[in-house]
Chains A and B, each alone.
Chain A
Amino acid sequence: MKFSGFKVIKEALTGHKGWAPLWRDPDPQPAYDFVIVGGGGHGLATAFHLAATFGQARIAVLEKGWLGSGNIGRNTTIIRSNYLLPGNQPFYEFSMKLWESMEQDLNFNAMVSQRGILNLFHSDGQRDAYRRRGNAMHLSGADAELLDQQAVRAMYPWLNFDNARFPIKGGLLQRRAGTARHDGVAWGYARAADQRGVDIIQNCEVTGFRIDQGRVLGVETSRGFIGAGKVGVAVAGSSSRVMQMAGMRLPIESHVLQAFVSEGLKPVIDGVITFGAGHFYVSQSDKGGLVFGGDIDGYNSYAQRGNLPVVEDVLEGGMALMPRIGRARLLRSWGGVMDMSMDGSPIIDRTPVEGLYLNAGWCYGGFKATPASGYAFAHLLATNTPHETATAYRLDRFARGHVIDEKGVGATPNLH
């Protein structure tokens, strides 16, 4: 079934009798050519691209719970390609381009909204660092603008310019950045993959890998053994737990990142704003909630919930930057478990086990990467060679000394 305005009107007039399931609930086949472990954004996007872009068939996605139950539905929905390092920026710019055509590619409105992201700076040093970054963005084909204080004031006159501990001196603006409806991304990929014959198997937990003589043969699951030509693991947040079943230790720690949404409000903030001197970033959803967050809690956790000090820290930043939000109310907070990698950058690579591939280490930035991650992982699975924008995401880069450390904090995952 194709979604369209016409279809919506037709169904509205005929009592919504013609809608069909967005995806099937098939029973698992005994074996597939490709088994993707993890029915989150990255796993679903991988399956979609395997089928749609690389013409592969016999593909299954195995999801422990309900599809999209992981970080794809627990993030602050920001999409951007404003990275600094050459190992990252072209990949995220590729992702941005895929966002820009996603709805047409998937025939699903994921509400990709290019509202712009503004990173504020507060010192000459930060400005210089943002200039370096903005230029790196331009050089990769992305857009960026360096705004002075006056230009920032024109965009957001109600920010705290006059009574700030760290005065706003300007900002780096990427207009093509923005937000997308996170659940919609998972659903759009799931539906489009399903339409192309991918079996999405929910409530199917992988409990082990069957490996023989260094080669993966399939996965043990809560619904029995499923054979596989190739297995791709895309379970960020749980990567260490899953890969441990294949005998691997990863350069990853799991940390909890909290996110927050306020009660619905009439339009307050048009784009995304990040506050460089505090630990705060914010946007407003189409429904009117202010969606915001800050730092990770900072300790290893699989608990999907955080603690009060970070809540306070985030809102200190929020109030310092935007004193008008004081009388809005926090509606809900939640926690997601992040794969915090040792250099803050992801891994898309083969593993020492033949036929077993890993997509992991997305830190708190996996959402924006979803389309490119799926594309690049599918590329790797289908062709056995990395996609040209993802060549730096090697598992051995740590041992070899080719880390991609955007923040320059080294092997301390809670600081990335």
Chain B
Amino acid sequence: MTRVSGGLIDRSRSLTFTFNGQSYAGHPGDTLASALMANGVRLVGRSFKYHRPRGIFSAGSEEPNALVTLRSSARAEPNTRATVAELYDGLEASSQNHVGPLGFDLLAVNDLMAPFFAAGFYYKTFMWPRAFWERLYEPMIRRAAGLGRLSDLPDPDAYDRGYLHCDVLIIGGGAAGLMAALSAGRAGARVILADEDFRLGGRLLAESDPIDDAPAPQWVERVEAELRSLPNVRILTRTTVFGAYDHGIYGAVERVADHLATPGDGVRQTLWRITAKRAVLAAGATERHVPFADNDRPGILLSGAMRAYANRWSVAPVAKADDPVAIFTTCDDGHRTARDLLAKGVNLIGVVDARADAPAGKDYEVFAGGLVTGTRGRRGLTSIRLRHGGQDRWIDCTALGVAGGWNPNVHLASHHRGRPVWDDTRLAFLPGDGGPGGLIPAGACAGKGSTAAALADGAAAAETALTALGITARTPDMPRAEDHADRPSAIWHVPGKGRAWVDFQNDVTVKDIQLSHKENMRSVEHMKRWTTLGMATDQGKTSNVTALAVMAEMTERSIPQTGTTIFRPPYTGVSLGVLGGGDTGADFRPRRLTPTHHWAETQGAVFVEVGPWMRAQYFPQPGETHWRQSVDREALAVRAGVGLCDVTTLGKIDVQGADARDFLNRVYANMMGTLQVGRTRYGLMLREDGTLFDDGTCARLAEDHYVVTTTTANAGAVYRNMEFARQCLWPDLDVQLISTTDAWAQIAVAGPKSRQLLTRITDGADLSNAAFPFMACANLTVCGGLRARLFRISFSGELAYEIAVPARYGAALMQRLMEEGADLGVTPYGTETLAVLRIEKGHAAGAELNGQTTAQMLGLGRMVSAKKDSIGAVMSRREGLAADTRRLVGLVPVDPAQKVTAGAHLFTKGAVQNTVTDQGWITSACHSPHLGHAIGLGFLEHGDTRIGEIITAANPLEGQEVALRVASAHFVDPEGERLRD
């Protein structure tokens, strides 16, 4: 154990966990990383390309090395950063990306082959022979690549999404964020304070500098207590604000239960969409390292992380308490670590400070102007090579803290593609203009890194936000805190022969960047893409700026001249499960049920998805073992007797007003203005481009009252277009629209006995052919006073009606019709039979009305009136549409035993079959129980003139070819006598 004194862990309780199967213990407050470190575990993973041994490098979400698979089986969570994984009892973690044990990874051979794997190597080889890429090279690469392994089981956990609104969103709960929250909270603003850590305080938890003469965590606790007492402040810990979107909308993920073994009955994570009038970005800063030869060994850490482990987690990154530790720094910050490590009793051998004017050490040696030029230690650091005073020497050292200055976390400020700006004094990119509107950077992420400056800047940012919102704020009293301005230096890497890592995870070294430069991959974006720098799970948090500096050095330009780097959402990885928000599996989309759904269930109906709806597909009866048996029975029953089908899903639009007639005449392509009260007419709607949009019926119930029906699929779109026409095209017409699809249940009553059945429920209405002829409509009552609408329309080609009643009576009406029709053999039928009946009758449906069809193709070209203006009329006359010679035809197999297959293409008999000779295709097909053989509908070139011709239906996809005879599309009652009977 290498625990040191103090810290923010609860030593009174122990938690056990396993890493690679071995059991260890830690304490509440630990992360997996701090607990591993406390147990002397140094080697925790392997790098991506060279499979180099790697240890813990950071103490936060920027971690490039310590990636583990957390949990197992269906809950296995690959690529989890040990540095932010909160320890819980029973935690299970394993290392990734190695073949064989972690200590003896067989793929470590890649490291020996490293010269062959230089930046861009794969673009230059693996090209011969051609087929070997898919068969050999690529599978090899894919197996070796990737990091962790995903379970092949469904994610068992639940996710949720929620919406929050606030005046001020504060992103980050460190010094600046807490002060901003305090200011805004006290002023009464609605505040959300979000922090990715499980404990508020940010860097204050990791530092030993006091606030108001007491340990900083005590100040944090006091502030947190006050914030929690304010009803207008909501604190979200374990919550990462990962993206800044438009108009003050932020995406955040709250890890509700990731610190527990399982979420139990709760959710694992919640996706919050936060709408904030203003936001304060107090995201802090990330320390950068300084590349030098072999700088990637376990035991080499960011200096600030080393300090955090010592102060917050009371652990030193060594295997034994008196192992020697050194610091390599290019700025004053490294000396803070030295001071804190000494205070914790760590065996500090000194600080190598690259600056000639390094400060003198208190109680420790300083190698001013010194450099670390190499390291040793295969699975953990054992010694470093120190260049000092012109001499190189090896020094025993098992842990090295590296301090290269701090990069402000400007990420969210550049999510709207605003570029950060370079600050030559701070040697860092700061948030630039063009950031998300209303986002105010504060504290270390704005370059104000001392505690005092961050506190003051947080308060100032809150004041700016509140002033903009018209809320009066009082600046709180500033606590006393350290105010040391760091002195960074422009020492970006240590030149030398060995490999010096810039991006640890993706194994990008200074040499790779040099090679990229040599090959003219000099734009920063080219360099990143050529070398893969910054593309790993840490997204270059510890490498991007350093790489830019190395590139700048080679191009002999300044860093801002060389380029900037912007960031895209998400700030850190967000689980795909939570982004889906829990709407998965059967709940992926809402399920709309028709009014008779539950009744149909009791009848044993089989249901089918029709867009958002579930519809009865067919009603199997006892003894029927194949769907065809049920459908044939249903279809024959309709043609011989009477059938019932719920057609509520058809769109219904109520059109009312003095100008309703004029309006509909402009919306429909065919003449609708002449429709009389009490009559219904089939109508075609075109898109403005002249193509067929939808078909349906239009019924005139009163002088100024029409009911329009649409297809199920287009119910929403037709309504939207009609509203567009009403509001945008003809705003002066007196007409009102409302969709009543959900308000009315509608049942088709079809078959020669339909009149007989309906007469039994229509409260004495005269349904005789004379009184209520084909295409009649009326308001009436049924079943003793229930208001209803009756339309004599037919999709099946039989004598048929559609009857509508208020939706809540739909099921009751269906039941009543079933009872009343029992002696007539009334038969419920589903969508399959509906389709068979309409194909037999040659009515177009979705397969024909697919948005690529013209009225002319359906043989309805003459319906498009040339006598009036209507949507699409002008464009329907364009040459390309007018010259289209494809026509809807019926198709019958020459051999009645053959099938007709929708999707087959049509060819002149004996013709060569290719794209050019293609004559059309089959849109719909079924077995016709009425005719006793298969039939189909299709579009065929000059189809209207080819009735009787034998053609070929080719289905090369499934190796089929069938001879078909072209026929009229109206297989049943082509004269329409049954309809009018």
Contacts and interface: CB of A to CB of B under 8 A. Distances in A.
- Direct A–B touching, Cβ under 8 Å: yes
A287 B127 contact: no
A97 interface: no
A401 B249 contact: no
Given A265-B78, A331-B537, A410-B689, A16 B515 contact: yes
Most buried by A among B78, B878, B958: B78
A125 to B, nearest CB: 6
B118 interface: yes
A5 B137 CA distance: 12
Contact of A405 (B79, B573, B851): B851
B243 interface: yes
Contacts of B918: 86, 136, 139
A326 interface: yes
A122 B577 contact: no
A324 B151 contact: yes
A264 B584 contact: no
Given A326-B580, A327-B77, A308 B245 contact: yes
A56 interface: no
B957 A138 contact: yes
Interface in B480-494: none
Nearest to A1: B124
B539 interface: yes
Nearest to B126: A109
A27 interface: no
A11 B77 CA distance: 40
Measured as residues with beta carbon below 8 angstroms from the partner, the interface class of chain A is: 35 or more
Contacts of B526: 66, 68
Interface string B172-197: 00000000000000000000000000
Contacts of A403: 689, 880
B570 interface: yes
A86 B902 contact: no
A328 B124 contact: no
Nearest to A323: B154
A153 B688 CA distance: 43
Which of the four size classes fits the interface of chain B?
A: 35 or more
B432 to A, nearest CB: 16
A329 B575 contact: yes
A312 B588 CA distance: 12
A312 B243 contact: no
B585 A323 contact: yes
A135 B954 CA distance: 8
Given A327-B76, A399-B878, A135 B955 contact: yes
Interface stretch (B138-146, B204-212, B440-448, B658-666): B138-146
A70 to B, nearest CB: 11
A401 B852 CA distance: 12
A408 interface: yes
A165 B75 contact: no
Contacts of B875: 401
Contacts of B955: 131, 135
Given A3-B123, A304-B417, A134 B957 contact: yes
A319 B577 contact: yes
Contacts, number: 361
A361 B913 CA distance: 31
B609 interface: yes
A215 interface: no
A308 B147 contact: no
A167 B617 CA distance: 15
Contact of A165 (B149, B417, B587): B587
Contact of B123 (A187, A265, A267, A319): A187
A386 to B, nearest CB: 16
Interface string B857-883: 000000000000000000100111110
B140 to A, nearest CB: 10
A4 B254 CA distance: 50
Interface string A305-337: 101100110111111100111111111111000
Contacts of A23: 520
Interface string A140-155: 1100111000000000
A158 B588 contact: no
A266 B851 contact: no
A71 B273 CA distance: 29
B570 A263 contact: no
Given A286-B142, A328-B576, A22 B520 contact: yes
Interface in A100-150: 100-101, 103-104, 107-115, 122-123, 125, 127-141, 144-146
Contact of A305 (B415, B880, B902): B415
Contacts of B128: 4-5
Contacts of B922: 132
A146 B133 contact: no
Nearest to B534: A332
A166 to B, nearest CB: 6
Given A165-B585, A183-B529, A109 B609 contact: no
Interface in B60-111: 75-79
B915 A90 contact: yes
Nearest to A5: B125
B536 A264 contact: yes
A163 B958 contact: no
Contacts of B525: 66, 69, 73
Nearest to A335: B568
Contact of A265 (B147, B577, B921): B147
Interface string B515-538: 100111101011001001001110
Contact of A109 (B123, B147, B610, B916): B123
B152 A324 contact: yes
B589 interface: yes
B657 interface: no
A3 B519 CA distance: 13
A132 B77 contact: no
B850 A145 contact: no
A312 B574 contact: no
A141 B537 CA distance: 42
B251 interface: yes
17 contacts: A3-B125, A8-B125, A101-B130, A104-B130, A111-B122, A135-B904, A135-B955, A160-B585, A165-B589, A263-B537, A263-B573, A286-B141, A307-B245, A316-B584, A324-B151, A397-B880, A410-B687
Interface of B: 48, 75-79, 115-116, 118, 121-128, 130, 133-134, 138, 141-143, 145-155, 157, 159, 161, 243, 245-246, 249, 251, 271, 273, 415-417, 511, 515, 518-521, 523, 525-526, 529, 532, 535-537, 539, 568-570, 573-577, 579-581, 583-589, 591, 608-610, 687-691, 693, 846-847, 850-853, 875, 878-882, 901-905, 913-916, 918, 921-924, 954-958
State the 4 A-B residue pairs at the shortest beta-carbon distance, nearest first: A408-B851, A131-B903, A401-B880, A326-B155
Given A129-B847, A166-B589, A410-B693, 19 more contacts: A21-B519, A22-B519, A66-B526, A108-B123, A108-B127, A109-B122, A113-B134, A128-B924, A133-B903, A135-B954, A167-B609, A265-B79, A284-B142, A319-B583, A319-B588, A325-B577, A327-B77, A329-B573, A329-B574
